[in-house]
Structure 1
Amino acid sequence: MLSQVIAQDACTSCGACCAFFRVSFYWAEGEIMPNDVVEDLSPVYSCMKGTNQKNPRCVMLSGEIGQQVSCTMYEQRSSSCKEVQAGDSQCLKARSAHGLIPLIEIDIPHPVNDEDYDQVV
Protein backbone atom coordinates (compact mmCIF):
# COMPACT_ATOMS: atom_id res chain seq x y z
CA MET A 1 0.00 0.00 0.00
CA LEU A 2 2.74 2.46 0.96
CA SER A 3 4.64 1.62 -2.24
CA GLN A 4 1.51 2.37 -4.26
CA VAL A 5 1.16 5.81 -2.65
CA ILE A 6 4.83 6.60 -3.25
CA ALA A 7 4.53 5.46 -6.88
CA GLN A 8 1.46 7.61 -7.46
CA ASP A 9 3.18 10.65 -5.94
CA ALA A 10 6.26 9.97 -8.07
CA CYS A 11 4.17 9.96 -11.24
CA THR A 12 2.32 13.19 -10.46
CA SER A 13 5.59 15.00 -9.87
CA CYS A 14 7.52 13.40 -12.74
CA GLY A 15 5.94 13.14 -16.21
CA ALA A 16 9.22 12.05 -17.83
CA CYS A 17 7.58 9.17 -19.71
CA CYS A 18 5.06 11.59 -21.28
CA ALA A 19 7.94 13.64 -22.67
CA PHE A 20 10.23 10.84 -23.79
CA PHE A 21 8.29 8.09 -25.59
CA ARG A 22 6.04 8.08 -28.62
CA VAL A 23 2.65 7.13 -27.21
CA SER A 24 1.28 4.87 -29.94
CA PHE A 25 -1.72 2.56 -29.86
CA TYR A 26 -4.15 0.67 -32.07
CA TRP A 27 -6.22 3.18 -34.07
CA ALA A 28 -9.55 2.13 -32.49
CA GLU A 29 -8.34 3.34 -29.07
CA GLY A 30 -8.05 6.82 -30.53
CA GLU A 31 -11.75 6.78 -31.46
CA ILE A 32 -12.71 7.41 -27.81
CA MET A 33 -10.28 10.33 -27.48
CA PRO A 34 -10.82 13.89 -28.69
CA ASN A 35 -9.80 14.18 -32.38
CA ASP A 36 -7.46 17.11 -31.74
CA VAL A 37 -5.15 15.02 -29.50
CA VAL A 38 -4.67 11.99 -31.77
CA GLU A 39 -2.38 11.75 -34.80
CA ASP A 40 -2.47 8.96 -37.41
CA LEU A 41 0.77 6.96 -37.78
CA SER A 42 -0.41 4.29 -40.22
CA PRO A 43 -3.70 2.70 -41.26
CA VAL A 44 -3.46 0.58 -38.08
CA TYR A 45 -1.76 2.80 -35.47
CA SER A 46 -2.27 6.26 -34.02
CA CYS A 47 -0.36 8.23 -31.41
CA MET A 48 -0.85 11.11 -29.01
CA LYS A 49 -0.04 14.43 -30.65
CA GLY A 50 3.29 15.81 -29.61
CA THR A 51 4.88 12.40 -29.04
CA ASN A 52 5.88 11.64 -32.65
CA GLN A 53 8.65 14.22 -32.92
CA LYS A 54 12.35 14.54 -32.14
CA ASN A 55 11.68 16.01 -28.68
CA PRO A 56 8.40 14.34 -27.72
CA ARG A 57 5.93 15.76 -25.23
CA CYS A 58 2.32 14.67 -25.09
CA VAL A 59 -0.07 17.56 -25.73
CA MET A 60 -2.15 16.38 -22.78
CA LEU A 61 0.70 16.72 -20.27
CA SER A 62 0.35 19.76 -18.08
CA GLY A 63 3.08 21.10 -15.82
CA GLU A 64 6.86 20.95 -15.50
CA ILE A 65 8.74 17.66 -15.84
CA GLY A 66 10.22 16.54 -12.51
CA GLN A 67 8.27 19.16 -10.55
CA GLN A 68 4.48 18.86 -10.78
CA VAL A 69 2.59 17.36 -13.72
CA SER A 70 -0.78 15.95 -14.61
CA CYS A 71 -2.43 14.24 -17.55
CA THR A 72 -5.37 16.37 -18.61
CA MET A 73 -7.19 13.29 -19.94
CA TYR A 74 -6.06 10.71 -17.38
CA GLU A 75 -9.30 8.69 -17.39
CA GLN A 76 -9.19 8.39 -21.21
CA ARG A 77 -5.44 7.74 -21.54
CA SER A 78 -4.26 4.99 -23.87
CA SER A 79 -3.28 1.45 -22.97
CA SER A 80 0.35 2.29 -23.72
CA CYS A 81 0.23 5.01 -21.06
CA LYS A 82 -1.20 2.54 -18.57
CA GLU A 83 1.61 0.05 -19.27
CA VAL A 84 4.40 2.25 -17.88
CA GLN A 85 4.61 1.82 -14.12
CA ALA A 86 6.59 3.92 -11.64
CA GLY A 87 10.05 2.43 -11.25
CA ASP A 88 9.88 -0.01 -14.18
CA SER A 89 12.55 -0.08 -16.90
CA GLN A 90 10.65 2.34 -19.17
CA CYS A 91 10.12 4.78 -16.29
CA LEU A 92 13.79 4.65 -15.32
CA LYS A 93 14.88 5.20 -18.93
CA ALA A 94 12.67 8.30 -19.25
CA ARG A 95 13.70 9.67 -15.85
CA SER A 96 17.37 9.25 -16.74
CA ALA A 97 16.87 11.11 -20.03
CA HIS A 98 15.44 14.05 -18.08
CA GLY A 99 18.21 14.01 -15.45
CA LEU A 100 15.93 12.71 -12.70
CA ILE A 101 17.10 10.24 -10.06
CA PRO A 102 15.85 6.65 -10.40
CA LEU A 103 12.96 5.42 -8.30
CA ILE A 104 13.83 2.49 -6.08
CA GLU A 105 11.63 0.45 -3.78
CA ILE A 106 12.62 0.51 -0.14
CA ASP A 107 11.35 -1.51 2.78
CA ILE A 108 10.32 0.57 5.75
CA PRO A 109 11.04 -1.39 8.93
CA HIS A 110 8.24 -1.59 11.44
CA PRO A 111 9.26 -0.75 15.02
CA VAL A 112 9.49 -3.81 17.25
CA ASN A 113 9.68 -2.17 20.66
CA ASP A 114 6.67 0.15 20.85
CA GLU A 115 3.83 -2.18 21.94
CA ASP A 116 3.63 -0.77 25.47
CA TYR A 117 3.83 2.90 24.56
CA ASP A 118 1.13 5.37 23.62
CA GLN A 119 1.11 6.33 19.96
CA VAL A 120 1.35 9.97 18.93
CA VAL A 121 -1.20 10.57 16.21
Structure 2
Amino acid sequence: MSENVHPCLACGACCHQYRVEFSVYELASMGGSVPDALAHEVSGNRWRMNGTAAHPVRCEALMGRCGELSICTIYQERPSVCRAFEMGSDRCDEARAAHGLAPVATWTVFA
Protein backbone atom coordinates (compact mmCIF):
# COMPACT_ATOMS: atom_id res chain seq x y z
CA MET A 1 0.00 0.00 0.00
CA SER A 2 1.28 3.46 -0.82
CA GLU A 3 2.55 5.47 2.12
CA ASN A 4 0.68 8.50 0.75
CA VAL A 5 -2.76 6.89 1.01
CA HIS A 6 -4.64 7.75 4.19
CA PRO A 7 -5.71 4.49 5.91
CA CYS A 8 -9.40 5.47 5.82
CA LEU A 9 -9.26 5.80 2.03
CA ALA A 10 -8.03 2.24 1.69
CA CYS A 11 -10.45 0.69 4.15
CA GLY A 12 -14.19 1.41 4.37
CA ALA A 13 -14.65 -1.19 7.10
CA CYS A 14 -16.71 1.11 9.32
CA CYS A 15 -18.99 1.87 6.35
CA HIS A 16 -19.50 -1.88 5.97
CA GLN A 17 -19.99 -2.61 9.66
CA TYR A 18 -22.06 -0.09 11.59
CA ARG A 19 -25.55 1.37 11.53
CA VAL A 20 -25.38 5.13 10.96
CA GLU A 21 -28.18 7.03 12.72
CA PHE A 22 -28.42 10.76 13.25
CA SER A 23 -30.83 13.59 14.02
CA VAL A 24 -33.27 14.78 11.36
CA TYR A 25 -31.67 18.20 11.77
CA GLU A 26 -28.52 16.94 10.04
CA LEU A 27 -30.46 16.52 6.77
CA ALA A 28 -29.87 19.16 4.08
CA SER A 29 -33.61 19.91 3.96
CA MET A 30 -33.52 20.75 7.67
CA GLY A 31 -30.47 23.02 7.47
CA GLY A 32 -27.83 20.32 7.89
CA SER A 33 -25.51 18.83 5.32
CA VAL A 34 -26.48 15.17 4.79
CA PRO A 35 -28.20 14.70 1.40
CA ASP A 36 -31.81 13.67 2.06
CA ALA A 37 -31.78 11.08 -0.75
CA LEU A 38 -29.12 9.02 1.05
CA ALA A 39 -31.09 8.56 4.27
CA HIS A 40 -34.44 7.35 5.53
CA GLU A 41 -36.57 8.00 8.59
CA VAL A 42 -36.26 5.55 11.46
CA SER A 43 -38.68 7.20 13.88
CA GLY A 44 -39.59 10.77 14.64
CA ASN A 45 -36.40 12.77 14.54
CA ARG A 46 -34.01 9.82 13.95
CA TRP A 47 -32.75 9.08 10.43
CA ARG A 48 -30.40 6.41 9.12
CA MET A 49 -28.01 6.28 6.18
CA ASN A 50 -29.34 4.01 3.44
CA GLY A 51 -27.61 0.65 3.39
CA THR A 52 -26.80 0.59 7.11
CA ALA A 53 -30.08 -0.83 8.46
CA ALA A 54 -29.30 -4.55 8.19
CA HIS A 55 -26.44 -6.93 7.51
CA PRO A 56 -24.65 -7.00 5.24
CA VAL A 57 -24.05 -3.31 5.91
CA ARG A 58 -22.84 -1.07 3.11
CA CYS A 59 -23.47 2.66 3.37
CA GLU A 60 -24.79 3.99 0.05
CA ALA A 61 -22.47 6.99 0.30
CA LEU A 62 -19.41 4.74 -0.02
CA MET A 63 -17.72 4.31 -3.37
CA GLY A 64 -15.48 1.24 -3.49
CA ARG A 65 -15.32 -2.02 -1.61
CA CYS A 66 -14.00 -2.83 1.85
CA GLY A 67 -10.22 -3.20 1.86
CA GLU A 68 -9.84 -1.43 -1.49
CA LEU A 69 -9.92 2.23 -2.41
CA SER A 70 -12.97 3.38 -0.44
CA ILE A 71 -14.16 6.95 -0.79
CA CYS A 72 -17.09 8.55 1.01
CA THR A 73 -18.96 10.46 -1.67
CA ILE A 74 -20.37 12.85 0.95
CA TYR A 75 -17.27 13.20 3.13
CA GLN A 76 -17.73 16.96 3.63
CA GLU A 77 -21.46 16.46 4.27
CA ARG A 78 -21.29 13.25 6.34
CA PRO A 79 -23.31 12.90 9.56
CA SER A 80 -21.87 13.78 12.95
CA VAL A 81 -21.63 10.11 13.96
CA CYS A 82 -19.25 9.56 11.03
CA ARG A 83 -17.29 12.69 11.88
CA ALA A 84 -16.86 11.45 15.45
CA PHE A 85 -15.67 7.97 14.42
CA GLU A 86 -11.97 7.76 15.27
CA MET A 87 -9.45 6.03 13.05
CA GLY A 88 -7.51 3.51 15.13
CA SER A 89 -10.11 3.37 17.91
CA ASP A 90 -11.30 0.04 19.32
CA ARG A 91 -14.44 0.25 17.13
CA CYS A 92 -12.29 0.96 14.08
CA ASP A 93 -10.08 -2.04 14.81
CA GLU A 94 -13.19 -4.16 15.49
CA ALA A 95 -14.68 -3.23 12.09
CA ARG A 96 -11.39 -3.88 10.34
CA ALA A 97 -11.01 -7.28 12.03
CA ALA A 98 -14.53 -8.25 10.95
CA HIS A 99 -13.37 -7.76 7.36
CA GLY A 100 -10.00 -9.47 7.74
CA LEU A 101 -7.99 -6.25 7.93
CA ALA A 102 -5.16 -5.54 10.39
CA PRO A 103 -5.51 -2.78 12.98
CA VAL A 104 -4.56 0.70 11.75
CA ALA A 105 -1.70 0.85 14.27
CA THR A 106 0.14 -1.81 12.25
CA TRP A 107 0.16 0.36 9.11
CA THR A 108 3.22 2.27 8.00
CA VAL A 109 3.14 5.93 9.00
CA PHE A 110 1.70 7.89 6.09
CA ALA A 111 2.72 11.32 4.85
- TM-score w.r.t. length of structure 2: 0.83
User: Which residue of structure 2 aligns with residue 11 of structure 1?
Assistant: 8
User: How far apart in 2 are the matches of 1:34 and 1:103?
Assistant: 29
For residues 45-101 of structure 1, give each alpha carbon's deviation from its aligned partner in whole angstroms, at most 9, with x where no partner exists.
101100011211100100121111100011000000011111001101110111101
Distance apart, 1:105 and its partner CA: 6.8
User: How far apart in 2 are the matches of 1:104 and 1:37?
Assistant: 32
User: Once superposed, what is the RMSD of the aligned Cα atoms?
Assistant: 1.9
Alignment of 1:33-72 (within 5 A): 33-72=34-73
Q: Does 1:25 align with 2:26?
A: no
Consecutive unaligned residues of structure 2, counting only runs of 5 or more, are none
- Matching residue's letter, 1:15: G
User: Which residue of structure 2 aligns with residue 93 of structure 1?
Assistant: 94
- Identity rate of aligned residues, in percent? 35
User: How far apart in 2 are the matches of 1:100 and 1:10?
Assistant: 11
Bigger radius of gyration, 1 or 2?
A: 1
- Matching residue's letter, 1:44: N
- TM-score w.r.t. length of structure 1: 0.76
Number of residue-to-residue matches in the alignment: 101
